[in-house]
Amino acid sequence: MSIKRAALIGVLAAFFGSPPARAAGHEREGASVTVTVCPAASIHYRGEGKIWPQSYANQFGGETSPLYRVEIVPRRNSPDYWSMTLWHTGAFGGGDYGTEQIPDRRTGGLYQSNRLNVGFTNLFVTRHLPLESVPANVLFHVSIVREIFKRDQFAVQGPSGWVTTGPSGNDDTNEISAEGIGLGLEGEHGDRLYARWATSANYYVMLFDAKTDSSAGHIFQAEAGVGYRPVPAFSIELGALWQYWFIPSQGERRLSVPGTDGAVISWNRQETRTQGFYVRSTYRY
Amino acid sequence: MKRRLVGTVAWVVLLAPAVRAGQMSVYYSPSAQVEYEGTGYRSTAQGWELKVKPLSAATGFVWDHDLTKGRSLNIQYWRNESYYHREDGNALSATLRQTGLTRLAFHNVLAGLRVPVKERRLAASLGLQGVRETFDRTGFVFNGNATGETACSSLGGIGACLGLHGGSKGVEPKKCAFYSDWDLMFGHLFLTTGRPRAEGGSIHRDGYTYTFRLEAGVSSPRWRCGLSYVRQLFQVQFPGGASLPSGAAASLPINKTDFFGPFLNLSYVY
């Protein structure tokens, strides 16, 4: 069973099963800091767009990168509360590079090959509202998301053969950002030993970057885990998360590689899937 | 099909009042905007986008049925009245462009459980969503030539949606009052399918949706009459990219449909 399917079934089972428990944060006042690390998150990326005359879609072998998430909840006096969550993964956090290849539809061979690391830095500000008679919170998110693409070691097909930039040659970093709102649900069931789940769907627009269509895609997240709270102020949890991200952007930008049409460094539409097992630790004070 | 639909509605109308409280609403817009944009992989250079943007009548049926503990069941069905409308392609040059007439019909079904938020006039919803779109295409002009071809294609998706619902009830016993109502739902389509398929493109799985409704009007203990604004989006991705013998596109992998407009609505409260 895939992590995606397991996470979805976990969320649905926990919500509809409603075991005797309390919703996350209902009865605990005070502030908290939660750190989540996916030591080896699997990141798969697909780029598509009109790359004329060479191609339409890229082929990316995927990468493994650590995913970090820090969630801060300020001191609260009511069951409703705010939180701020920062997600990050990418080369800066120790992520690997995968191989991106671009087919050449004219020749049937390859037009370009390069190393690629796909990362992101996403900020979610969330209002948590407890539900009546169900041990769960509804989540309202406002978020700013930024996807970061780092490419290097280009090999590009020119009229007289391959032109390579090599390990010390040109590299490129480009970013896409979007702003959006989302809704979600979360629940925590148990006390010293507990199960926790959360799921969210977010819709994005581009307030600043859009040239034509401001519609900027969607992020869906699901996660579920089991934790242990040896003392009220501290808990540790193991689980799995899955994230789907679709975001459009301006494509067909190229890096100058002399003797070729240039190395492709952006696409019109990108789909990024992130999944992995996590360790999550919360400290309350 | 129509007989079955009428039968279901009649069953609901007759049986529901005997069981519990709730509300059934009909929404109608004589002129709602539908904006479709299909993109994605094409094996030919003659275009990578198709767009059709008809203004058409549209209808929505919404059923809220109260359950225990303040929870309620909410079922929504939205559709447009389809007709043939000019479709334009986007290509390297005007002579390579694909144009034609397309009849786009969509059906959007949502079924969810609403649970009240503690100490607020809000309810969270968790539900399932199904989207289906059909495209009847004719009058193709491709590479400057009328091809005489026709094409029927369809796509669909099933997924989950999360939402918030709010508003003021506005009903006092034996009095008329103003009311407001809104809901917002975001969905993810886990299972998508379509035809004709060609395994084209690399982004060809999953999809996403949103559904937004803002409504205000006058209510009596039995009836509500209001004006609402509805906006929906469904993006369905599947292995499309199929072409007709002439080379004209018959299906595309990335399919985005926006649907929006003002609606009149009438509700029966039981």
User: DSSP state, B210?
Assistant: E
Q: Which residue of A has its CA nearest to B69?
A: A133
Contact A100, A84 (CB under 8 A): no
- Name B16's Cβ contacts closer than 8 Å, sequence gap at least 6: B22, B24, B65, B270
Q: How far apart are CA B158 and CA B135, in angstroms?
A: 19
What residue spans define the domains of chain B?
20-269
CATH class of B20-269: mainly beta
**Predicted pLDDT of residue B131:** 98
A132 touching B (Cβ < 8 Å): yes
Q: Taking the CB of residue A262, how many other CB atoms lie within 10 A of it?
A: 16
The confidence band for B96, taking pLDDT boundaries of 50, 70 and 90, is: confident
Tell me the chain B residues in contact with residue A199 when contact means C-beta distances shorter than 8 Å.
Answer: 162
B187: nearest CB among A138, A201, A244:
A201
What residue spans define the domains of chain A?
3-224+241-284
Distance from CA of A38 to the nearest CA of B (A): 23
Average pLDDT of B63-71? 91
Interface test with B, best of A9, A78, A134, A245 (most B CBs within 10 A): A134
Q: Which residue of B has its CA nearest to A102?
A: B202
A82 touching B (Cβ < 8 Å): no
Q: B115-118 contacts: CB < 8 A, separation 24 or more?
A: B115/A131, B115/A132, B115/A133, B115/A134, B115/A136, B115/B70, B115/B71, B116/A131, B116/A132, B116/A133, B116/B70, B116/B71, B117/A129, B117/A130, B117/A131, B117/A132, B117/A138, B118/A79, B118/A129, B118/A130, B118/A131, B118/A132
Percentages of chain A per state (helix, strand, coil), in multiples of 5? 5, 65, 30
Q: What pTM was estimated for this model as a whole?
A: 0.89
* CB–CB contact A201 B208 (8 Å): yes
**Predicted pLDDT of residue A22:** 47
Contact A157, A260 (CB under 8 A): yes
* CB–CB contact B117 A130 (8 Å): yes
**ipTM summary value:** 0.89
The CATH architecture of the domain made up of A3-224+241-284 is Beta Barrel (2.40)
Only one residue has tokens 């090959």, namely A113
Q: What is the pLDDT along chain A (285 residues), one digit of tens a residue?
A: 565 556 556 655 654 444 434 445 444 578 999 999 999 999 999 998 888 888 888 899 999 999 999 999 998 888 899 999 999 999 989 999 999 999 998 888 999 999 999 999 999 999 999 999 899 999 999 999 999 999 999 999 999 999 998 777 789 999 999 999 999 999 999 999 999 999 999 999 877 665 556 678 999 999 999 999 999 999 999 999 999 999 988 888 899 999 999 999 999 899 999 999 999 999 999
Please state, in angstroms and as integers, the Cα–Cα distance from residue A81 to each residue in A32, A117, A187, A234, B115, following that order.
Answer: 12, 36, 14, 19, 19
**Predicted pLDDT of residue B47:** 59
